[in-house]
Chains A and B, each alone.
Chain A
Amino acid sequence: MLDQLEAALRPPKLEMAPYPAKHILLANGETLVVRPASMDEADVLLEIIDPLKTLDRDFYDIVSARLYAELLGWKRHRVRNEYCLVGVINGELAGIVNGRMFDEHHGISYHTLALKRGLRIGAHLFASKMEHHIEYLGQDEVWIVAESPIGHRRWMIEYPLQQKFSIQHELGGAPSWVLTRETYFKARPRLVTGTRPVPEELLACSHPIRKPDLRTMLVQIGDTLEAKL
């Protein structure tokens, strides 16, 4: 029995349509499964993100710290209508995206975190997130900001997003950029890929989420020279 105070602290929920899993063949021949994360996977996600919160490289620190807080909020029922999608390769976590429904018609994009770089996993996952808001949650628009200037430039120009500076984005109050249904469907053939349904065996492979080796992950993300100098 949930006590009454706890119940009052939990924001009310809207009904959210599930995101149907899909699979994407990557440049290196591996298969990325994109699927919703379940709340009981929050702990492993938190554990994986944790060491990235201090990684001062391409805004990984701020993205990881905020994503950590958002996932914790999700786990503790302190965020309204949040969802989280994961990208998994051979069972290993390759990336996370999340967001929430502001109301029935408007979505808020939170974060995109790629743990494996050079394979456009961030781009695939961001596209999946837009797909979720527009096609499955059935929303009219998604509010977006980017923490990294290059990420910002890429999304603004690639989709392209429109300015809606009258709205302060939930992430720090930055002026929002907007993906509308119309721009989404125009960009869709170019940017949204993947195959459904995911064969059962492949889907089973994406459970449970395995942690990437920390050192390999850090070298990957930093794209740094391993040799000691």
Chain B
Amino acid sequence: MEHTVNAAKCMKCGKITYPTHFYCPACGSTDFGAVAVEGEGTLLTFTRAYTLPLDYEDLYLTLGIVEMDQGIRATGQLDIDEPATGIRVLASVGPVRDVDGRTVYGLKFRAV
């Protein structure tokens, strides 16, 4: 099955928001269409987090915030050994966590 992570595009003013809000932050409209979070972006900040929830068995997780070329920002996991702020990254969707025994899919970024 194909997994996507969706942002919301306001049908009235065209602003894309991620995550979704009930009212459009730009114009107040409640009418949205789904638009996939995808493509490239620039790494704004990141961390290697070592104290992890029990369902992870890694020494650390690399997490970051990316400024997407689509004009939104997104938080996700980084598949990047030596991240640095300002590097270009590409988004994909993959397994990010097990919640109650089910695999959850979300954004993963790798360097381009």
- Hey, which bits of chain A sit against chain B, CB under 8 A? 153, 156-158, 160
Contacts and interface: CB of A to CB of B under 8 A. Distances in A.
Q: Among the interface residues B54, B58, B59, which one has the most CB atoms of the partner chain A within 10 A?
A: B59
Contacts, number: 7
A183 to B, nearest CB: 12
Contacts of B58: 157
Contacts of B59: 157-158, 160
A115 to B, nearest CB: 24
Contacts of B57: 156-157
* 5 nearest CB pairs, A to B: A157-B59, A157-B57, A160-B59, A158-B59, A157-B58
7 contacts: A153-B54, A156-B57, A157-B57, A157-B58, A157-B59, A158-B59, A160-B59
Nearest to A187: B59
Nearest to B57: A157
User: A interface, by DSSP: helix, strand, loop or mixed?
Assistant: helix
Interface of B: 54, 57-59
A158 B59 CA distance: 6
A164 B4 CA distance: 39
User: B interface, by DSSP: helix, strand, loop or mixed?
Assistant: loop
B50 to A, nearest CB: 9
B92 to A, nearest CB: 26
B55 to A, nearest CB: 12
Contacts of A153: 54
A158 B52 CA distance: 12
Contacts of A156: 57
A188 B57 CA distance: 20
B9 to A, nearest CB: 41
Q: Among the interface residues A156, A157, A160, which one has the most CB atoms of the partner chain B within 10 A?
A: A157
A152 to B, nearest CB: 12
A179 B6 CA distance: 44
A213 B58 CA distance: 39
Contacts of A157: 57-59
A117 B61 CA distance: 27
Nearest to B58: A157
B107 to A, nearest CB: 24
Nearest to A149: B54
Nearest to A157: B59
B41 to A, nearest CB: 30
A174 to B, nearest CB: 19
A156 B59 CA distance: 9
A160 B50 CA distance: 13
A156 B58 CA distance: 10
A158 B58 CA distance: 9
A157 B57 CA distance: 7
B59 to A, nearest CB: 6
Nearest to A159: B59
A156 B56 CA distance: 12
A8 B58 CA distance: 48
Nearest to B56: A157
